Structure formats: structure tokens, C-alpha cells
Chain A
Amino acid sequence: MLWSALEILTQANFWAATIRIATPLIFGVLGALLCERAGVLNLGIEGIFVAGAMSGWLAVYLGAPLWGGVAVAALTGAAFGLVHGVLTVPLGLSQHVTGIGVTLLATSAAYFGYRVAFPNVATPPRIEPFPPLDVPVLGDLPFIGPILAQQTALTVFAFACVGILAVVLSRTPLGLAIRAVGDNPEAVEAQGLSVVALRIGAVMAGSALMALGGAFLTLSAFNAFYFGMINGRGWVCIALTVFASWRPGKALLGALLFGALDAYQLRIQTIAGGAVPSQIFLMLPYIFSIAALVLVARRADYPRALMKPYFKGQR
């Protein structure tokens, strides 16, 4: 029993599943940390995941190429980001309540749109999702090969986004401005830059990333859109963002850790074979997220102006 529990870690299948579960979370955490680095908490994330999953999938179903679907999802996310940005930045409305409002709006728009497009379908219509990777040389390696063979181009893109966002945030003037606007907006204004434009821009870009997390589910992990398929993944990303202390590299680590835990509980369930109710295992990822949050909360280095609206000429 114990041996088979440990043996899971040696299976290429387990590691492939870890990466597959982590991918939407990588997009989500990157999106959330980009918004929060600029000083805006975006609780619209759960709904933006739903809208991205639905719009990207619908575009492909209607004949767009797969990457076209990805672009549609990103644009959808950016549009909801614009709503959240305009309401919370220049208007300075409560980021908590506005975020919940954006989640409700994006979710209901996606569900309503889906029901309008497909009023009476028994089985959800399907698309041809992203094909598995076919990597030369690496794909022939033992262990690594089978893991890669279960991933798609969208996962590679997620990993690339980690690197891109890390470099942009820490090595470019734009990244410096985004970080500054989340720490000390007065200083940014003194530089002659627009706090409003920077914050809205960051929220839109972050929301686009969140939507890609949703699109990964319908265009790569599955091939259809289901009601309730996001199931709290967005909220998990908000917790992982604190865990990752707003750094892209650690975000990748946190997402992979979460993915490993989720993949592990799925496999240990079959070993436990009904002796323990399945719900106990399904709770683990959420409990893990809360535990991670509580553990790091004390020394979490929150962006200093997070959730503080900024009005020109007022201190």
C-alpha cells in the first residue's frame, strides 16, 4: 500500500498530469500577480476563466483556427479587465465588490451565450483540440518523452509567459513602472506617467492571461465547454499568488506544486479504493491552498498600494 503510494511518483503519467493540471493555474496566477503588482486585486478571475473557456472554444467551434480561439479568449479577458479597471481605477470603487460583480457578469454572459448558441443539446458539442507535442530528440528520451507527448503547444506557451513576464517585470522600464504603480503611485505620477493608464493596462493584460487559463481547459485539456468546469480554479490562483509572493518564477513553482498535489490525490484515491470517501481527497487542493495562504500570510510582501485607489492631487 505504502509502496504503491510512493510508486506513483515514478510514473511519467503522474508528472504529465501534474503539468496538465498546473497549466491553467500558471496562466491564472501570472494574470493575478500582474494585476496585483499594479495595485489592483482582480476577483473577476473566476468569471474571466469561464468567459475565456467559453469564448475561445466557441470561436474554434465556429471555424476559427486553434490559435485564433486563444486570441479570442485573450481579447474577451481583456474586455472584462477593462470593465474592472475602469470601475476600480479612475472611479476608485471597492475592488472586492467590483471583482465579484465582474465574476458574476462574465460567468452569466458565458452561460447565457452558450445557452443561446446551443438551446437544446444533450451532449456538449466538441472541437478538435490542440494535438500533443511532437518534439524531436527530447521526445525520444525515456521518461521525459512520454511526459512531453502528453502536453500541447499551449502549455509551452504558458511556460514561455512565465519567462516573458519575469523579464518584463524586473528588467524593463515598463515593468518598473508597473511595479512602482502598485507600490508608490505618487512617484509614478511625479515621473509624468499616467497611473490610470498603467493600472488599467496591467489589469487588461492580466485578465487576458486569466482568460487563457480558461481557454486551455476547453482547447487543450478537454474539447468541450461544460457548466461549472472552472470550479474554483480562479480563486485557487488568488491564493497561489500570495503563496508565490507576486513573483512569476515562484508562481510557476506554486502552480506545479498544486498540480502535483491534485494529480497525486486523484491517483491515491484509486489505491484507497473506497475505504476513504472520495470527497476527502477532492477537498485536499482547497485545504492546501488555505494552508499555503495562512503559512505565508505573516511575511507576505504585499504590493504596498494594493487595493488603495489613487486620485490625482489627493494624498
Chain B
Amino acid sequence: MIRFVPRERTPVWLTLTVSIGSGLAALLLTAIPLALTGAPVFTAFALMAAGAAGDGFALAETLTRATPLIFTGLAAAVAFRAKLWNIGAEGQLYAGALATVALGAGLIEAPSYVLVPLVLVGAAAAGAALLLVPVLFKTRFGADEVVVTLLMNFIVLLFVQMMLEGPMKDEMALGWPQSAPVLDEATLPKLVEGLRLHAGLVLALVAAVGLHVFINRTVWGFRIRAVGENARAARYAGLPVGKAMALVGILSGGLAGLAGASEVAGLKGYLTSDLSPGFGYAGIVVATLANLSPLGVIPAAIFVAGVFVGADSMSRAIGVSNYLADLVVAFALLSVLVGGLLTRFRIVLVRREAA
């Protein structure tokens, strides 16, 4: 019989080994369907690696793709720490994007040192407000936040489509409905001339460090962790569980909203209803790969972004569908979950004792 014995502490080498091992396991598992299609497995993976980090241009593209994933990864990490199952980052991202074009596309004219912060605060507020609804439903009515946040994703996307076909449609744009472009004063500056990399990445890194300090070094961070470990014990100890949950909702929704602002104001320049290819859902994978650590979100987001950018480039070269990236990411999530058992428990074989 196998028993799981909880570990008192996890050695660093083990955490690292398990992370790398999970990544390799994901690639191995993906190799099976890849081989079944008759594609050259090693060539495909080599092309993916080259496409993700082969040269400066590829690396910049990966970091550009990682930027929204850091935000949504942080959104999932802080929520899951408190066992608030926010699966609605996708919708909160669109709410943030909508706020960005609402504020930054001509409504207010101001110099960029006013307009950029205003747009960011507006986007974070929109995302936070959107998540506070299910948090309220959870604390007031006991409604499961998983289903509510999931379903709200569909509602928000329809709302965005409605706005883009109606009041926020750019009359100058032909064809596909899109919003008016954000003003130059609301645009996040590019980091390197000629590359798509933008200041959103810096914001994301600052957010990760800030969240790390907040969770590990402040009283409210401690309260959030305590609520996540054991909500009943936390309530018994007199901690303000409801307020802690609301704070988590504001942080998580706000971070997801910033992902939308960063994509619109930093990269696209305007809003379309296909802004996000599932960044919100991928954030859950990123947070899980990072073991819910805010600093760990950075490498995890870069890894997931690299898989997607690399798969696109591999797909262009040898014609294997880039849905391969989704497979790698799904396998990585499941591998890391199983690998997490090894870091949290010692697996002990015990002989069955006579009862």
C-alpha cells in the first residue's frame, strides 16, 4: 500500500527537479500524439525551441506574449492562495480592455503622465468590480464562484461585441468591428525601437514583486494566506474573512483587468473581440506551474508564452497544427499537479498490516 506522508519542509533541489521534470514529462506526453501524426518529433520540438528563444527577435516576441500571462497568472495565484476560485480572468481582462478604450480613446485629453495612470487605474477598477459580483454572491448567498465567474466570461465577451458593434464602434475602421484607437498619450511606450515589446512588461514585473512582498510581508497578506489555509479556523481566530475575500477579489480582478489594459494600450492600440486567445484561462496554468508563488509566475509565464510562440513558428515551418501548444500546456498543468505531490508529500510504501 502507498501512503502520502506530509513533508515538514521541501528542499529547494527537489522543487527545482520536480518543476523541470514536469516540463519534460509534458513534452514527452505531447510527443505521443505528435508521433502518431507522423510528424518528425525532434525536428518539431527543436523548431519550437528556436521559434521561442532562437534569437533576440524570437525572445522579444516570447516576452511580449508573456506580459498578459504574468498579469493573469498573478490574478489566479492571489485568488487561489485564498481558495477563491476565480476562473473569470478572461472576462475581467476584457472589462479592463473596455475601460482602457473608454477612457483612453478620446474621452479625456491629458498629457501621458496623467492619462496612462488613469487608464491603468480604470482598467484595474473595471476588472475588480467584475470579480466583486461573484465574491458577493459567494459570501452573501453561498453561490459557487467557479460557475459564476466562468459564465460571466461569456456575458462580458457578448457585452464587448455589443459595444464594438454599437456605441464604441470605430466608424473609420472598415469591416471587422473594432474600437477607436487609444490616443498616443494613453499608449504604453515601446521598450526597444522596432520590437513589439512594451512597458506593460515592466508593469507586470513590478506587479509580481509587489504582490510577493504584499502576500509574504504584510498583515493583510498573512490574513489572505490564513483564509486560504483554513477559512473556519481564520474566522474562529477573529480574522475578517469577508473583508479578506473582498480584498482578494479586488486584487485578482484588478490584475486581470491590467492584462487587458496592457494588451490594448501597449500592443494592439484598439479593442477587438478577439483580443485574448484565452490569456485568462492560461493564467490558471501559469499560476499552477508557479505553485501559486508571485515570483514564480514570471518564469512560468515566460515558459507558457514560449510554448505558444514556438508552436506558431514551428507550425509555419512544417505545417503541424499549432494546437500542439495547447496540448503541451495542458499536459504541463497536469504534470505539475502530480509533481506537486512529490514536493508536498513523501511517498512511502508500507506493507499491509493484518487488521
Contact of A87 among B144, B150, B334 (CB under 8 A): B334
Interface string of B135-174 (1 = CB under 8 A from A): 0010001111011101111110011011001100000000
User: Inside 8 A of B166's CB, which chain A residues have their CB?
Assistant: 277
Contact of A104 among B4, B146, B330 (CB under 8 A): B330
Interface core residue of B33, B284, B337 (most chain A CB under 10 Å): B337
Nearest-neighbour CB distance to chain B for A266, whole angstroms, equals 14
Please determine whether A104 and B341 come into contact, CB atoms closer than 8 angstroms: no
Q: Which 6 A-B pairs have the closest CB atoms?
A: A108-B326, A115-B321, A105-B330, A104-B330, A279-B162, A297-B143
Contact of B333 among A104, A113, A290, A311 (CB under 8 A): A104
Please determine whether A231 and B326 come into contact, CB atoms closer than 8 angstroms: no
User: Inside 8 A of A94's CB, which chain B residues have their CB?
Assistant: 337
Please determine whether A112 and B321 come into contact, CB atoms closer than 8 angstroms: yes
Known contacts A107-B326, A112-B324, A294-B137; is-contact A286 B146 (Cβ 8 Å): no
Known contacts A279-B162, A297-B144; is-contact A287 B155 (Cβ 8 Å): yes
Known: A87-B337, A104-B333, A112-B323. 18 other contacts (CB 8 A): A91-B341, A100-B284, A104-B326, A105-B327, A108-B326, A112-B33, A112-B324, A116-B321, A235-B151, A238-B147, A277-B165, A283-B159, A286-B154, A290-B137, A290-B147, A290-B152, A297-B142, A297-B144
Can you offer 28 A-B residue contacts whose CB atoms are under 8 A?
A91-B338, A93-B338, A97-B80, A97-B333, A100-B281, A101-B330, A101-B333, A101-B337, A104-B329, A108-B323, A109-B330, A112-B33, A112-B327, A115-B323, A232-B154, A235-B147, A235-B150, A235-B151, A242-B144, A277-B162, A279-B158, A283-B159, A286-B151, A289-B147, A290-B152, A297-B143, A297-B144, A300-B142
Please determine whether A111 and B331 come into contact, CB atoms closer than 8 angstroms: no
The reply on A76 being an interface residue by CB < 8 A is no
The reply on B57 being an interface residue by CB < 8 A is no
Interface string of A77-97 (1 = CB under 8 A from B): 000000100010001111011
The reply on B85 being an interface residue by CB < 8 A is yes
Nearest-neighbour CB distance to chain B for A41, whole angstroms, equals 8
Please determine whether B33 and A286 come into contact, CB atoms closer than 8 angstroms: no
The reply on A23 being an interface residue by CB < 8 A is no
Q: How large is the interface on A (under 10, 10 to 19, 20 to 34, 35 or more residues)?
A: 35 or more
Interface set of A (CB-CB < 8 Å, partner B): 43, 83, 87, 91-94, 96-98, 100-102, 104-105, 107-109, 111-113, 115-116, 119, 231-232, 235-236, 238-239, 242, 277, 279-280, 282-283, 286-287, 289-290, 293-294, 297-298, 300, 311-312
Please determine whether B148 and A279 come into contact, CB atoms closer than 8 angstroms: no
| Bound CA–CA A91/B341 (angstroms) | 8
Nearest-neighbour CB distance to chain A for B236, whole angstroms, equals 20
User: Inside 8 A of A111's CB, which chain B residues have their CB?
Assistant: 321, 323, 326
Interface string of B278-296 (1 = CB under 8 A from A): 0001001100100000000
Please determine whether B158 and A283 come into contact, CB atoms closer than 8 angstroms: yes
| Bound CA–CA A311/B350 (angstroms) | 14
User: Inside 8 A of A116's CB, which chain B residues have their CB?
Assistant: 37, 320-321
